[in-house]
A and B are shown apart, each in its own frame.
Chain A
Amino acid sequence: MSAIAKIETPPPMLSVNNIEVVYDEVIQVLRGVTLAVPEGDIVTLLGPNGAGKSTTLKAISGLLRSEYGEVTRGDIHFMGERVDKQFAEEIVRTGMFQVMEGRRIIEDMTSLDNLKLGAYTRNDTQNIARDIEMVYHFFPRLKERTGLAGYLSGGEQQMLAIGRALMARPKMILLDEPSMGLSPLLVKEVFKIIEQINKEQGITILLVEQNANYALRAADYGYIMESGKIVMDGTSEYLLSNEDVKEFYLGGGNEERKSFKNLKSYKRRKRWL
C-alpha cells in the first residue's frame, strides 16, 4: 500500500519529502508530509478543513513565502530540481503553475488580459494568440465574455483561472479546490475539463479537493491529510472502496447506518489520529 515504494522507479515528476511548514516562525501547520506525483497522472489530496492541503500546495509552488510561511524541514523536488528554496516566480518558470483557492482572477481586467498575463513567463509571443484559441476551445463561454473579469459568474471565473494556468503552458498544474462554491452541474463540468486537460494536453495535475467523490473518480491516486499529516494513501479505486474513506468523505458507510433511527445515535467510528 505504500505509495513511496511503488513509484520510486521511475522518479516521480514531483516529490515532496517529509516537509514541515511553519507560519510566522511559530505556528506549525505541516508535520512531515510526503507525497509523490508521477508524470501524466492526476493525484488528489483530500482532507477536512484546516488539514494543511492548501499549505502543502503553496509550499510546493513557493507562494508560502508571501504569507510568512516557511518550509523548515524536508525538501521538494520538481523534475529533478530542488525547488523548496526557490521563489514563486522562479518556480513558475520551471513549469509548475498553481491555481489558487477562490479563483483569484484579476477582476479589474478583461478576461483576455487575464489570459495574456497567464503567459507572462513565456517568450514565444507568436504562439500566444494560438494558445488563447486553445483556451477558448476548452471554455467557449470565455470568448463571449469580453467585459471585466470581475463581472463573470463563479463558474466562469473558475474557468478563467484554469484557462490562465493553461496559458503558461505548464507541465504540472496545482489545483486548489476548483469546485468551491459551484453548482453541482458546474462541478461536473469542471471535473470533466480537468480530466480533458490531463489527457489532451498531457498536463500532470495535483488536485486539492473537498469533493472527495468527484476528485477520486478523476484521479489515479489519492492522499488523505489530517492535521498536517498524510494519514492514508492509495490508488483511487482502493480509496473509493475503503470503508473509512466512504464513511468520512464519501457520505456512505455501512448499510445499517442508512436507517433514520440509527442516524440519531450516529457516532464517528474512529479517527485516524
Chain B
Amino acid sequence: MNFELLTQLIINGLIVGLLYGVVGMCFVLVYKSTQIVNFCQGEFLLIGAWVCWAFLVYLQLPFIVGFLLTLVFMAGFGMLLQMIVLRPMIGEPIISVIMVTIGLSMFFQALMKWIFGVSAESYPKVFSQETFEIFGLRVEAAYLMSTGFALVIMAAFYWFFKYSKQGLAMRATAFDQQVAQSLGISVKRVFAMSWAIAATVSATAGVVIGMVNGVSDSLSVIGIKVFPAVILGGLDSIIGAIVGGLIIGVLENVAEFFDGQYLHWGNLYDIAPFYVLLIILWFKPYGLFGTKDIERI
C-alpha cells in the first residue's frame, strides 16, 4: 500500500473538504433563513470565478483589488437575485421555488458560456512560488490560501451568528419569522442579506478553486457535490455542513486511491460520496446533525 500517496490524498481531501464545507455553510444559511433549497449554489462559484477572472485578465487589475471587487459585485448580485427573482416567490409552494432555482442554475450556466466561451481559462499567476513542501508533502500555494480562507470564513461565520446583532437577527428569523417581525427585524432584509452572504462566500470558494484548476463549467459541479456534504451533516446544521464537507472531501480522495490502486472501476471519485450518502441516510434520515422534524403527511 502506498502510504505516502494515501496521506497526500487525504490531505488534499481535507483541503477540498474545507471548501465544500464553506459552500455547504452558504447552502445551509440560505436554507435555514429562507427555507429555499438553492440549486444554483454552484453557479455562484462559477459566476464569482469568471467575474474575478475578467477583472484580472481584461482589466489587468492586481489580484487583491480584483478579488475584493468580485466580492462586492457578488454581494450586490446575491441581494438583487433575492429581491427580484425570489422575493415574489415567498408563500409559493416549495417545489415551485426549487424549480425556479434549477431554472436559475441553467440560465446562469448558459449565460456564463455565452459571455466567456466554453473553454477553460486559467488565472494569471498570483503566487511566485506554486508549491510548498510541508513535512515532505507537496502542497499547492493556492490550496494553502484556500485553507486559510476557509478557516477565516468559518471563524467569521461563528462570530457573526453568535455575537453580532445582525447574526442574531438572522437566527431569530430562521427560528420564527413572525417573532422576528415582532422584534422589529425586517425579514425581507434578512433574506436579501443571507443571499448576499451566500453569493459572496461561495464566490470566494469559486475563485480559489479556479486558481488551482482553471475556470470552467465544471466549477458549478461543486454545487452538486455540496449536496451529499450538506445532507450528510443535516440540512439545517452549519457545523454539520463543515463536517459533511470534510467527510465528502476525504471520502472521494480515498475512493480515488483505492480505485486507482486496486479496484480499477473508474470514476469512483465522483460517485463514492453519493453511495455513502445513501447508506448514512438509511440509518440517519435527518443527517448526522440535523434536527428531527415531526411532520404530518
Q: Which residues of A contact B (CB under 8 A)?
A: 61-63, 66-67, 87-89, 92-93, 97-98, 100, 104-109, 113, 116-118, 120-121, 164, 168
A-B contact pairs, 20 of them (CB 8 A): A66-B177, A67-B178, A88-B181, A88-B182, A92-B182, A97-B182, A100-B179, A100-B182, A104-B176, A104-B178, A109-B172, A109-B175, A113-B168, A117-B168, A117-B169, A117-B183, A117-B185, A120-B183, A120-B184, A121-B183
CA distance A88 to B185 in the complex (A): 9
Residue total for B at the interface (Cβ-Cβ under 8 A): 17
Q: Smallest distance from the beta carbon of B9 to chain A beta carbons, Å?
A: 38
The docked-state distance in angstroms from the alpha carbon of A116 to that of B168 is: 9
Which residues of chain A have C-beta atoms less than 8 A from B178's C-beta? 63, 66-67, 100, 104
The reply to whether the CB of B284 lies closer than 8 angstroms to some CB of chain A is no
A106 touches B185 (CB 8 A): no
B6 CB → nearest A CB, Å: 40
Q: Does B186 sit within 8 A of A, measured CB to CB?
A: yes
Report whether A120 and B165 are in contact in the complex, using a CB–CB cutoff of 8 Å.
yes
Q: Which residues on A sit within 8 Å (CB–CB) of B169?
A: 117, 120
A120: chain B residues within 8 A (beta carbon) = 165, 168-169, 183-185
Binding site for A on B (CB under 8 A): 165, 168-169, 171-172, 175-179, 181-187
**Are the CB atoms of A104 and B179 closer together than 8 Å?**
yes
Write out the residue numbers on chain B whose beta carbons fall within 8 Å of the beta carbon of A66.
Answer: 177-178, 181
Expressed in whole angstroms, the minimum distance between the Cβ of A96 and any Cβ of chain B is 10
In the complex, residue of chain A having the shortest beta-carbon distance to the beta carbon of B189: A89
A106→B172 contact, CB < 8 A? yes
Residues on A with beta carbons closer than 8 Å to the beta carbon of B168: 109, 113, 116-117, 120
Cα A87 to Cα B184 in complex, Å, equals: 9
Would you call A89 and B185 a contact (CB within 8 A)? Answer: yes
Chain B residue nearest to A92 (CB atoms) is B184
Chain A residues within 8 Å of B175, by CB: 106-109
CB-CB under 8 A from B181, the residues of chain A are: 62-63, 66, 87-89
A residues less than 8 Å from B187 (CB atoms): 89
Which of B172, B182, B184, B187 neighbours the largest number of chain A CB atoms within 10 Å of its CB?
Answer: B182
> Top 6 A-B pairs ranked by shortest CB distance?
A92-B184, A121-B184, A88-B181, A104-B179, A89-B186, A106-B175
